[in-house]
A and B are shown apart, each in its own frame.
Chain A
Amino acid sequence: MTTLLQLSGVSRHFGGLKAVSSLDLSVDRGEVIGLIGPNGAGKTTLINLITGVHPATAGTVRFAGEDVTRQQPWQAARRGIARTFQIVQPFPEMTVLENVTAAALFAGGLAYGERAEAAALEHLQFVGLADVAGKRASTLTLAMRKRLELAKGLAMNPKLLLLDEVNAGLHSTEIDHALALIRAIAARGVTILIIEHLMKVVLNLCSRIVVLHHGELIASGDPQSIVRDPRVVQAYLGRRYADASH
């Protein structure tokens, strides 16, 4: 296996606040990694730092062998780093199809025209939104918007997909649907880093879990060892979870 993403000693400070501090993480091609941690641990900041939204204040980010620490978000997108937003961000007045076409066009490298639209429609079929392709994005339900984010992410033709709480606010049947989708995306060979509060999802999906707490990486390993790690139990999972899993 080869390394796709390599973070070395990366930090991101906001004023005096260390949202992420001297963090090392390496992600191999084809991995599905779960990123967990309490609220405010720095998970979203880590994604912003990888995608150039809030560049690292120290350390380096390497992607596919290239130093991308100072890249802009649009450059990250074209290099093959796609992300979904914790708070969904569609183009509200555009149709669902146009939303996904934009992703295929600007990040996916397709030329303007019908090919990009056809590709977008395929992605909509894949996530089950083909029948609302012509509707305005602002009319979708939350569950549909989350799937729209997934379709956009896919249309970007990513090497690395960063999913920020794609299941938050969904009920269990919707979550099962999303889980199946994510698994299918991983099966295509896309490397995935998923931020998730639902342990059921993380344990189901991920080959490795990393735990963030106060901006520091406190544990990294396979799901079984993570749920038994006393530091993780104390910082995040809580005693009840540890007891239940025994």
Chain B
Amino acid sequence: MPTGVDAYWLRLGTTMLMYGVLAMSWNFIGGMAGYPSFASAAFFGLGAYAGAVAQKYGLPMVVAWSLAGAVAALFAAALGFALLRLRGHYFAIASLVVAEVLREIVNSATNLTGGGMGLNIPVPQMASIADQARFFYYAMLGVAVLAFGAVLVTQRSRLGFGLRCIQQNESAADMLGVNTTLYKVNAFILSGVFVGVAGAVYASWVHYIEPPDVFDVLYSIKPIVMVLLGGAGTLFGPLIGAALFLSLEELVWRNYLSVHTGVLGLLIVLLVLFLPKGILAFRLRRT
């Protein structure tokens, strides 16, 4: 039997890994390419619903999760070709709208998604509640490891180098032979695929989803705060930021739920003003 403490830490650990996936993913487009995306919630909700609907039609859980990743990736590709022609805050605003649009679509596609009633996801057959909690912890760990691997490979590749060029001076990058549209779309796909899988895993984990829950704008904002907190464009910054953020959330904000979004907004402003390169910058500056 699980003790209460074990269950608490498993839940926190799973959440931590999920935040890590969100932050690492945002880092591809926001940190490496320098495009402030607010589309994370769209990918998360899309992945959650894709996974849930696929399971509703009888697909095995892990297959449904993979399908959710593919759906998120395809959606990111299509969206990227449309939106990434916009620069800076125009892109940011356009990406912010996407989750709202998807939420409305899911709301009205009642036959498929249950609409505002939400959707139940079949509970996996397992010996105990504790086994289930452990299973989803390892599932989320798997997604996080995949995302981290993708970050690692990207940073040491032509793609990562090209994204850094775009982030610093897009027209100069273009002039030097970087196919900027293609590179940005690739970064956007990478920023969507793991979030989509994480959304599907989340849906299976909590057994029940509804549009306002998985398309919550906070899923777009939190990863940005985490990455800014830890250090944009870096390897470990997003993970450190995710850990810091979750600690803050657990220690402080659980008790002040009503000011949640306001505090987040304030934190973003403070970060951008005083710590534009994140916590990691302190260490880098000294060396």
Chain B: interface size category: 10 to 19
Q: Which residues of B contact A74 (CB under 8 A)?
A: 174-180
B164 part of interface (Cβ distance < 8 Å)? yes
Residues of B within 8 A of A89 (CB): 169, 171-172, 175
Query: Given contacts A112-B157, A112-B158, are A107 and B168 in contact (CB under 8 A)?
Result: no
Contact A94–B168 (Cβ < 8 Å): yes
Stretch in A15-23, A98-106, A125-133, A211-219 touching the partner = A98-106
| Pairwise interchain contact B172-A91, C-beta atoms closer than 8 A | yes
Nearest chain-A residue to B159 (Cβ)? A112
Query: Which A28-83 residues sit within 8 Å CB-CB of chain B?
Result: 51, 53, 72-74, 77-78, 83
- On whether the beta carbons of A51 and B157 are closer than 8 Å, the reply is no
Q: Is B135 an interface residue (CB 8 A)?
A: no
- Could you say which residues of chain B place their CB within 8 Å of the CB of A85? 172, 175
Interface of B is mostly: helix
- Name the A residues within 8 Å of B177 (CB-CB): 74, 77-78, 103, 106-108, 156
CA A83 to CA B171, docked complex, whole Å: 12
Instruction: Pick the most buried of A51, A74, A78, A156: most chain B CB atoms within 10 A of its CB.
Output: A74
For residue B165, CB closer than 8 A to chain A, the reply is yes
B174 partner, pick from A72, A94, A101, A103, beta carbons under 8 A: A72
Contacts of B178 in A (CB 8 A): 74, 102, 106
Task: Tell me the smallest distance from the CB of A49 to a CB of chain B, in Å.
Answer: 14
Q: Which of B165, B173, B176 has the most CB of A within 10 A?
A: B176
- Could you tell me the distance between the alpha carbons of A92 and B173 in the complex, rounded to whole angstroms? 12
A106 to B174, CA, bound (A): 9
Taking the nearest CB of chain A, how far is it from the CB of B287, in angstroms? 14
Residues of A within 8 A of B168 (CB): 91-94
Query: Does B161 sit at the interface, judged by CB under 8 A?
Result: yes
B157 → chain A closest CB, angstroms: 6
Asked if B162 lies at the interface with its beta carbon under 8 angstroms from chain A, I say: yes
Assembly CA distance A106 to B180 (angstroms): 11
Q: How far is the CB of B187 from chain A (nearest CB, A)?
A: 16
| Chain A interface category by residue count | 20 to 34
A90 on interface, CB distance cutoff 8 Å? yes
- B175 proximity list for chain A (CB < 8 A): 51, 53, 73-74, 77, 83, 85, 89
The yes or no answer to A147 lying at the interface (CB within 8 A) is no
Q: Which of B134-180 contact A (CB under 8 A)?
A: 157-158, 161-162, 164-165, 168-169, 171-180
Q: Does chain B have a CB within 8 A of A152?
A: yes
Report the separation of the CA atoms of residues A103 and B178 in the bound assembly, to the nearest whole angstrom.
9
Nearest CB on B from A245, distance (A):
36
Q: How far is it, in angstroms, between the C-alpha of A103 and the C-alpha of B165 when the chains are bound?
A: 10
Question: B164 near A94 (CB under 8 angstroms)?
Answer: yes
Q: Which residue of A lies closest to B166 (CB)?
A: A91
Q: Is the CB of B161 within 8 A of A105?
A: yes
A102→B179 contact, CB < 8 A:
no
What residues on A are CB-neighbors of B157 within 8 Å? 112
Task: Say which residue of B158, B164, B174 sits within 8 Å of A91 (CB atoms).
Answer: B164
Distance of B179 from chain A, by nearest CB (Å): 5
Question: How many angstroms between the C-alpha atoms of A94 and B168 in the bound complex?
Answer: 8
Q: 1/0 contact trace for B171-200 toward A, CB 8 Å? A: 111111111100000000000000000000
Q: Which residues of B contact A83 (CB under 8 A)?
A: 175
List 24 A-B residue pairs with CB atoms under 8 Å apart, sorted by A's residue number: A51-B175, A53-B171, A53-B175, A74-B174, A74-B175, A74-B179, A77-B174, A77-B177, A78-B177, A89-B171, A89-B175, A90-B172, A91-B165, A91-B169, A91-B173, A93-B168, A94-B168, A101-B161, A102-B165, A103-B177, A106-B176, A106-B178, A112-B157, A112-B161
Q: A77-B176, A106-B173 are in contact. List 6 more A-B contacts (CB 8 A).
A: A51-B175, A72-B174, A77-B174, A77-B177, A91-B165, A102-B176
Query: B residues bordering A, Cβ < 8 Å?
Result: 157-158, 161-162, 164-165, 168-169, 171-180
Closest 8 CB pairs of A and B: A107-B177, A77-B177, A106-B177, A91-B168, A89-B172, A73-B174, A112-B158, A106-B178
